[in-house]
Amino acid sequence: MHSLSLDGHYIYKLAPWLSWSDLLYGLEQNYIDEKEISDYICCSLTITHPKEAYEIAVTPIENQHLIHQLLSTLASQSKEKNDKHNRTLAIPVPFFFI
């Protein structure tokens, strides 16, 4: 299956809220390729991003096959963090009827 070759910079302008899981899905479905994932991440990179995001941003062309694994790691870390956050917020609140 051929990639649609969506431009990472353009995707970031349209959808800067995409999660690591969204990017991984796009990569696995060939909506975006490794180079464009790197471009997208370069556009969104901040000091709070995990080290894997920086690794993707600086991955040379000849090693772009590593991007899938790094992105998978980011997606799973994000899922674990969200699951943990959701568990801590799931406190039952009593309802009072007046």
Query: Mean per-residue pLDDT for 10-19?
Result: 89
Tokens of 18: 């995409």
Residue 34 confidence (pLDDT): 92
Confidence of residue 10 (pLDDT cuts 50, 70, 90): confident
pLDDT tens track for 27-59: 999 889 999 999 999 999 999 999 999 999 999
DSSP 36-76: HHHHHHHHH--TTS-HHHHHHHT--GGGGGGHHHHHHHHHH
Share above pLDDT 70 across residues of the chain, in percent, rounded to a whole number = 76
Q: Across residues 54-74, what is the average pLDDT? A: 93
